[in-house]
Chains A and B, each alone.
Chain A
C-alpha cells in the first residue's frame, strides 16, 4: 500500500462547479500535511497547508481528519485556471524531513 493515496481522476467539471479531492495516508504518526499544485509539464508548487482545525484560502478549503487519516481539498466556483494536478503531501513522523507525495488528482475545468 502506498503511503499517500489519491484518486487519479481526471475530474472534468464545468466552470463554477464545486469539486472535492480526497487523500488518505497510511502512517498514523504523520505530523504535517499539504496540498501542492502542478501544472502540465511544470514543477509542483505549494498550494496550502492543512491544519487539524481546517483552513480556508479564498475559494480553497482544506481539512484533515486524523482519526480516519484522511485529507480533503474543496474548490468552490472553479475557474479554467484551476485546471492542474493536485498533489496530496505528507511529512511522516519521526526524524525524516522528506515530503511524501501522492500520485496526484487531475482536474480539468471545462468552459
Chain B
C-alpha cells in the first residue's frame, strides 16, 4: 500500500538485547517522526527528521536510543541493551511538508516491543 510501513510489527526481546525497528514513510514525505506509546498513554515524541537531517532528538529517553535516516527515506530506530521499561509501541509518522504545522501526521501501525 501507499501508507507508512513499519517492521517488525511485533518484537519480543530479552533484557539486554539490541533491537532495530524499521520505518518506510510515504514516498516523497520530507518529515519523519518517531513516537513511543506505552499502554494507556498518548504517544510521546522521540525524534524528528527533515529529509536526512535529525533536527530534534530531545525526546530520546537515553543514549541507548539511536535513530537514523541516512538517505532521507527509510528510517531505523535502534535500542541497545533493552530494558523492561522500553516495552511499548513505537510509532513512526511522516508528513509531506517541511514542518508539521498542518497537524496531519500519517502514522504507521507501529512496532510493538515487549522486553522480557
Contact = CB atoms under 8 A, between A and B. Distances in A.
A32 B103 contact: yes
A43 B42 contact: no
Contacts of B108: 43
Main secondary structure on B side of the interface with A: loop
Interface string A44-56: 1110010000000
Given A96-B56, A97-B48, A44 B99 contact: no
Contacts, number: 61
Interface string A65-107: 0000000000000000000000101010000111111111000
A99 B103 contact: yes
Given A96-B56, A98-B33, A103 B42 contact: yes
A6 B101 CA distance: 22
A25 interface: no
B100 interface: yes
A91 B103 contact: yes
A91 B101 contact: yes
Interface string A23-54: 00000000111100000001111100100000
Interface of B: 31, 33, 35, 40-45, 48, 50, 55-56, 59, 91, 99-101, 103-105, 107-110
Given A31-B101, A44-B43, A101-B43, 10 more contacts: A33-B103, A42-B109, A44-B91, A46-B105, A89-B103, A91-B101, A97-B99, A97-B101, A101-B44, A103-B42
Interface of A: 4, 6, 8, 31-34, 42-46, 49, 87, 89, 91, 96-104
14 contacts: A32-B101, A32-B103, A33-B103, A46-B104, A49-B103, A89-B103, A91-B100, A97-B56, A98-B33, A98-B48, A98-B56, A101-B35, A101-B42, A102-B42
